[in-house]
A and B are shown apart, each in its own frame.
Chain A
Amino acid sequence: MEQIIQVTILGIGLGGVFALMGSGLSLVFGVMRIVNLAHPSLIIAGAFTAYWGFRLWGIDPLVMLPVATLLLAAIGVLLYKIFFERNAKSATYSEMTVLLTFAIAMIIEGALGAMFSNTQRVTSPSYATDAFFLGDIFIPKGQLYAGMVSMLIIGLLAAFLKYSRLGYAIRATTQNRDAAALLGVNVNMVGLMSFAIGIGLAGAAGALTSFVFSFFPAKHWEWIAVLMSLVVMGGMGSIVGTVVASFGLSIVAAFVGAYVGSTWSTMTFFLALFLVLLFRPQGLFGEKPELL
């Protein structure tokens, strides 16, 4: 029994971080129909931001989080202006963005590798290796903090989308771009803002990731499939769906890791991706099949 609780707790801890990683991806797909394969590489860039802040100046990664968020949001604005804005009217936009973001991912990986080398790194504030104990059950502080901050950020994102004027515009544009434009929404500005927010969230996720997982520039290849499975399972563009899928799959993955073998843990995500694509291609929360 204790082991089951223990494994569940570890799964929840991972789920929180994956939820934040996936929600930015989901937002960008929902509004812009951009399948952003570069999202995990931008998360790594956020992780490096937090890592160097700690390594050079001893700044806590949680304090570096807003810095990484803003830095990555600014990079998001640049990427959008350079690559995505001019092509938005193309009929094959989504398909094209797969290739485009694949290329961007490789460029970012190469740039990070050239600057910081491909060594494994992890930000190591004191809590990263510490834990709370409840009897025999331990709760790693790093994962706990990362999970809690993730939930806080996702909660703020949800409130922003639900109540703010820009949030209304973002949701409206996601659901019906033409109708939003007809009601006076500047859909191009909404696209830019949601892209910046989505990439900013990648930066925030990176700062948290930096003390939860060890990372190196090429690590994003491992994450892209995991994140895609979360977003597809959540229903492509549904943030709630992505969050639910993140927790669900992370907990299952933790159990697979504990009882089947840790090398099989990641398989959970791919297996779930296959099953969802076969039996419910619209995802858990999506209403119609539109994968790409």
Chain B
Amino acid sequence: MTEFLKVEGITAGYGDGPAILDGAHMTVQQGKVHCIIGPNGAGKSTLMKVIAGMLPVRKGEVIFKGENLKGLRPDQTLRRGIAFVPQERALFPKMTVRENLRMGGYILNNDRERDRRIDEIFDRFPILRERADQHAGTMSGGQQQTLAMARTLILRPEIVMFDEPSLGLAPMIVREMFAIVRMIAEQGVTVLLVEQNAVMGLKHADWGVVLDLGRTLFEGPAQEVLHDPRIQELYLGGRKVA
């Protein structure tokens, strides 16, 4: 059986700079929510950028459904069904909500089909329909994050990657974001999350991956990772979790 997505021994960095990732690996199972955690500078965002094709792989492999993604550009990984929402600023602030969604379907060559899918998104996220003609930059942080996440669904991706969707949001809104994540996963879409708040992230995930200094310390079912003494030591400074 070929695995859904496999990341093996990845080394990568920015420009000629030092390796941010230095042999990281992770396994991704179809339809599950995966949470990547680790201290600042562990390489969490970098790992997503590598999978999305924004950063070249120096060593190692990313295999998606049997195909090596090495050397693919972001638009090519997107066409294969991998969508990525980078940290903050993922939107076009001076375009309307509808225009942002249209950009989400930019690579579709059929405007009617694109607009039909936008309508589906509006059914699932009524707040976006309400705000359809408003500039994205004028919405609240939670609404903007909802738009960024919803926008990836236009292309009906197989994998969506969200880099810190909870960043800068109030705790109540964060819960809404995780509800959306769960809803997306229930539709059979595989989710990868980076979370600064490890406890929060793991509680909402099926699978946990712990990165430190560019390497994967360990990975496993989210519940086990959450209670693993190693992560408490590394990441939470020895405090008892949950």
**Cβ of A183 under 8 Å from chain B:** yes
Q: A168-B99, A179-B86 are in contact. Are A184 and B92 (CB under 8 A)?
A: no
Chain B residues whose C-beta falls within 8 Å of the C-beta of A169 in the assembled complex: 106
Asked whether, in the complex, the Cβ of A184 is within 8 Å of the Cβ of B79, the reply is yes
Q: Residue on A with the closest CB to B102?
A: A168
Asked whether, in the complex, the Cβ of A175 is within 8 Å of the Cβ of B78, the reply is no
Asked whether, in the complex, the Cβ of A179 is within 8 Å of the Cβ of B107, the reply is no
Chain B residues whose C-beta falls within 8 Å of the C-beta of A168 in the assembled complex: 99, 102-103, 106
Interchain CA distance A179-B107 in the complex, whole Å: 14
**Cβ of A181 under 8 Å from chain B:** yes
Q: A181-B74, A182-B54, A184-B75 are in contact. Are A172 and B95 (CB under 8 A)?
A: yes
Interface digits, A181-214 against B, CB 8 Å rule (1 contact, 0 not)?
1111110000000000000000000000000000
**Cβ of A263 under 8 Å from chain B:** no
Asked whether, in the complex, the Cβ of B107 is within 8 Å of the Cβ of A176, the reply is no
Of listed A168, A169, A184, residue having the most chain B CB within 10 A: A184
Asked whether, in the complex, the Cβ of A175 is within 8 Å of the Cβ of B95, the reply is yes
Contacts across chains A and B counted by CB atoms under 8 Å: 62
**Cβ of A141 under 8 Å from chain B:** no
Asked whether, in the complex, the Cβ of A171 is within 8 Å of the Cβ of B95, the reply is yes
Q: A168-B99, A168-B103, A169-B106 are in contact. Are A182 and B93 (CB under 8 A)?
A: no
Asked whether, in the complex, the Cβ of B104 is within 8 Å of the Cβ of A183, the reply is yes
Chain B residues whose C-beta falls within 8 Å of the C-beta of A153 in the assembled complex: none
**Cβ of A130 under 8 Å from chain B:** no
**Cβ of B94 under 8 Å from chain A:** yes
Would you give the shortest CB distance from B103 to chain A, in whole angstroms? 5
Interchain CA distance A171-B95 in the complex, whole Å: 8
Interchain CA distance A176-B91 in the complex, whole Å: 7
Q: Residue on A with the closest CB to B148?
A: A179
Q: A175-B92, A175-B93, A175-B95 are in contact. Are A184 and B78 (CB under 8 A)?
A: yes
Asked whether, in the complex, the Cβ of A183 is within 8 Å of the Cβ of B52, the reply is no
Chain A residues whose C-beta falls within 8 Å of the C-beta of B78 in the assembled complex: 182-184
Interchain CA distance A34-B75 in the complex, whole Å: 25
Chain A residues whose C-beta falls within 8 Å of the C-beta of B107 in the assembled complex: 183-184
Asked whether, in the complex, the Cβ of B91 is within 8 Å of the Cβ of A179, the reply is yes
Chain B residues whose C-beta falls within 8 Å of the C-beta of A180 in the assembled complex: 92, 103
Chain A residues whose C-beta falls within 8 Å of the C-beta of B93 in the assembled complex: 175-176, 287
Interchain CA distance A273-B215 in the complex, whole Å: 52
Interchain CA distance A181-B89 in the complex, whole Å: 13
**Cβ of B90 under 8 Å from chain A:** yes
**Cβ of A178 under 8 Å from chain B:** yes
Would you give the shortest CB distance from A196 to chain B, in whole angstroms? 21
Interchain CA distance A181-B99 in the complex, whole Å: 16
Chain B residues whose C-beta falls within 8 Å of the C-beta of A185 in the assembled complex: 75, 103, 106
Q: Residue on A with the closest CB to B84?
A: A182
Chain B residues whose C-beta falls within 8 Å of the C-beta of A175 in the assembled complex: 92-95
Interchain CA distance A183-B157 in the complex, whole Å: 12
Interchain CA distance A179-B148 in the complex, whole Å: 10
Would you give the shortest CB distance from A164 to chain B, in whole angstroms? 11
Would you give the shortest CB distance from B93 to chain A, in whole angstroms? 6
Of listed A165, A179, A185, residue having the most chain B CB within 10 A: A179
Interchain CA distance A168-B84 in the complex, whole Å: 20
Q: Residue on B with the closest CB to A185?
A: B106
Would you give the shortest CB distance from B99 to chain A, in whole angstroms? 7
Chain A residues whose C-beta falls within 8 Å of the C-beta of B103 in the assembled complex: 168, 172, 180, 183, 185
Would you give the shortest CB distance from B235 to chain A, in whole angstroms? 28
A-B residue pairs in contact (CB < 8 Å), sample of 24: A168-B102, A168-B103, A171-B92, A171-B94, A171-B95, A176-B89, A176-B93, A178-B89, A179-B86, A179-B91, A181-B75, A182-B52, A182-B83, A182-B84, A183-B78, A183-B104, A183-B106, A183-B107, A184-B74, A184-B75, A184-B78, A185-B106, A186-B75, A287-B93
Which 9 A-B residue pairs are closest in the complex by CB-CB distance? Answer: A184-B107, A184-B75, A175-B92, A183-B106, A182-B74, A172-B92, A172-B103, A179-B90, A184-B106
Known contacts A183-B106, A184-B106, A287-B93; can you find 9 more A-B pairs with CB under 8 A?
Answer: A172-B103, A175-B94, A176-B89, A178-B86, A180-B92, A182-B54, A182-B74, A182-B90, A184-B75
Question: Which positions in B face A, CB cutoff 8 Å?
Answer: 52, 54, 74-75, 78-79, 83-84, 86, 89-95, 99, 102-104, 106-107, 137
